[in-house]
Amino acid sequence: MHSLADLIADLNRPAIYLHGVRSRFELPVLSSTGYSDAYLSFLRKLVYLRLLSISEETLRDMWHLEKKLLQLLHVAK
């Protein structure tokens, strides 16, 4: 499990950036249990895709579509 400080150090981004990404992508904010490797991997991929000049709006639209598909397949709530 990773703490918020670990995420900040690994992604080399400030805390305000991570807070903004979590709110715009409607990601859960975990306070006591920590963040999983998959959570860190997802954030890392978002950072890399933004470095490739893919707009955040496009990424957000794709993420919402994927969440809807998972809900239809009864994989996520």
Distance, in Å, from the CA atom of 12 to the CA atom of 4, rounded to the nearest integer, reads 12
Report whether 40 contacts 7 (CB < 8 A): yes
pLDDT in tens, 1-57: 888 889 999 999 999 999 999 999 998 887 777 888 999 999 999 999 999 999 999
Give one word for 53, left, alpha or beta, with left for phi > 0 and alpha for psi -120 to 50.
left
Helix (H, G, I), strand (E, B) or coil at 2: strand
**Among positive and negative, which fits the CA dihedral 5, 11, 17, 20?**
negative
Give the domain ranges of the chain: 4-72
For residue 23, give Cα distances in angstroms to 7, 17, 28, 44, 72: 16, 10, 8, 16, 23
Its pTM stands at 0.82
